């Protein structure tokens, strides 16, 4: 069941926003705050603080946990007080925490500040799916989601390269850059993008937030809780890639001995297929074929991770076999992401922020859990990483099989 009520900002505002082509670029750049915060700072920071890189990997898991919390409350709050207020508040917290990290004196300080940075990032990015739902008509959701994702995908390729250049000035410069990036987005949002979901601070309520979350979870279609099945399946599928992100520095730099300067190249190769499948989704995805895209994407993901497990169990004789398997695995998100998001968000309108909160909270929480599990069982090999990824994709496919097409 989808909602067809007019966008809360008014039809004239929504129509004007939908006509702005650069708006998708802005939303994509806003979403990119998440992956921009998962870059190649770990090796240099580990050396500076005199700790192992595996210990610094925990800052990524902590970031994912804080990001999930920020997204859970941020999306629901945006339904109550307005998208713009929450987005700007999040960007401000993110920028301030980034500056503080640059002057941190210990790993413990970094971990706490990364948590605060993540909450700000969660606030500012959770509104993006809700913005797309506010602005664009139902039949365009899939393609618009694919366009936003395509813009966002530039960040995993560009971020490591920027990080590698900034490392010449010391690892703190990376976080100064993040602060500048968030500030620039905040200034643009403040000056150029109107509110799409008006509200007032007096409506802010934790009780209402939990009630909204309950409404999203209980939403049914055809007598079944189809929306929450999409959310769970997408979250588990995304945690496959997040587990790889958490361990990518160890896998490429320490296990295979890749030079830090070449790490962005190997990492970037994993994104090429994802860009291609997103372009495919932009051109071919419709509300009618979205369920098929989603199921097939998850099936291919399972196959690629299974191949990765076999390669690792055989001793990972070549880094290129690992890179190729990861590239195929990453490419599946170009199918599952836009297709799953469009199907999921089509069930909501007035609760678009809360729906986005639930999904993204599940995604980053599961990413943090699976990333931590792979770290807990760390034994100096790639086996814990790929085994954790296999469990996540198996669960994602199992839940997806429970989703029945709309009548």
- pLDDT tens for the chain, residues 1 to 407: 444 343 445 555 555 565 466 787 888 888 888 766 665 566 667 666 766 666 666 777 788 788 878 888 888 898 888 899 999 999 999 999 999 988 888 878 888 898 999 999 989 988 888 888 888 777 777 778 777 777 666 665 666 667 667 777 877 888 898 999 999 999 999 988 888 888 888 788 888 888 888 888 888 887 788 899 999 999 999 899 888 888 888 888 888 888 877 877 787 777 788 888 888 888 888 888 889 999 999 999 999 999 999 999 988 778 899 999 999 998 998 889 889 988 898 888 778 888 888 887 788 778 878 988 988 888 888 999 999 999 999 999 999 998 876 55
Q: Residue 166 half-sphere exposure, CB side, CA atoms within 13 Å?
A: 19
C-alpha 271/C-alpha 199 separation (Å) is: 38
Residue 221: strand pairing partners: 224
Task: Collapse the DSSP code of 221 into the 3-class scheme (helix H, G, I; strand E, B; otherwise coil) and give the result.
Answer: strand
What domains, with CATH codes, occur in the chain?
A: 11-400 (1.20.1250.20)
**Nearest alpha carbon to residue 41 among 152, 178, 139:** 178
Hey, is 5 helix, strand or coil? coil
Q: Are 148 and 26 in contact (CB under 8 A)?
A: no
Instruction: Report the alpha-carbon distance of residue 169 to residue 234 in Å, rounded.
Output: 38
For residue 287, what is the DSSP state?
Answer: T
What lies within 8 Å, CB to CB, of 101 at 6+ separation is: 109, 110, 113, 114, 117, 172, 175
DSSP 224: B
In the three-class reduction of DSSP (H, G, I as helix; E, B as strand; rest coil), residue 109 is classed as helix
pLDDT digits (tens, 9 = 90+) for 24-57: 788 888 888 876 666 556 666 766 676 666 666 6
Give the pair of three-digit tokens for residue 146: 């694919």
CA distance 125 to 269: 25
Alpha carbons 260 and 346: distance in angstroms, whole number: 43
Its pTM surpasses 0.85: no
């Amino acid at each position: 069941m989808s909602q067809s009520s007019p966008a809360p900002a008014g039809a004239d505002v929504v129509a004007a926003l939908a006509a702005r082509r650069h708006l998708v670029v802005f939303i994509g750049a806003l979403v990119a705050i998440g992956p921009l915060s998962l870059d190649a700072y770990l090796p240099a920071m580990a050396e500076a603080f005199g700790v192992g890189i595996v210990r610094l990997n925990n800052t990524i898991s902590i970031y994912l946990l804080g990001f999930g919390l920020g997204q859970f409350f941020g999306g629901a709050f945006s339904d109550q007080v307005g998208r713009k207020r929450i987005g700007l508040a999040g960007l401000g917290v993110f920028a301030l925490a980034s500056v503080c990290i640059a002057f941190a004196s210990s790993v413990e300080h970094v971990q706490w500040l990364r948590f605060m940075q993540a909450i700000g990032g969660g606030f500012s990015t959770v509104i993006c799916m809700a913005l797309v739902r506010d602005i664009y008509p139902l039949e365009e959701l899939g393609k618009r989601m694919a366009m936003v994702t395509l813009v966002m995908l530039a960040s995993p390729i560009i971020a490591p390269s920027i990080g590698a250049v900034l490392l010449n000035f010391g690892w703190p410069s990376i976080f100064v850059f993040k602060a500048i990036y968030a500030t620039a987005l905040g200034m643009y949002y403040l000056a150029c993008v109107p509110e799409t979901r008006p509200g007032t601070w007096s409506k802010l309520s934790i009780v209402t937030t939990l009630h909204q979350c309950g409404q999203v979870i209980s939403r049914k279609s055809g007598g079944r809780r189809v929306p929450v099945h999409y959310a769970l399946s997408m979250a588990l599928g995304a945690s496959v890639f997040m587990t790889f992100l958490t361990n990518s520095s160890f896998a490429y730099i320490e296990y295979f001995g890749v030079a830090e300067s070449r790490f962005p190249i190997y990492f970037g190769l994993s994104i090429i297929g994802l860009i291609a499948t997103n372009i495919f989704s932009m051109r071919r995805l419709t509300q009618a074929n979205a369920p098929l895209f989603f199921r097939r994407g998850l099936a291919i993901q399972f196959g690629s991770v299974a191949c990765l497990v076999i390669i690792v169990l055989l001793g990972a004789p070549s880094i290129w076999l690992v890179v190729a398997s990861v590239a195929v695995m990453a490419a599946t998100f170009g199918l599952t992401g836009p297709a799953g998001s469009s199907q999921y968000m089509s069930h909501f309108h007035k609760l678009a922020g809360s729906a986005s909160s639930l999904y993204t909270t599940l995604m980053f929480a599961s990413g943090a859990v699976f990333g931590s599990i792979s770290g807990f069982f760390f034994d100096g090999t790639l086996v814990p990483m790929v085994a954790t990824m296999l469990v996540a994709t198996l669960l994602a496919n199992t839940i997806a099989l429970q989703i029945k097409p709309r009548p």
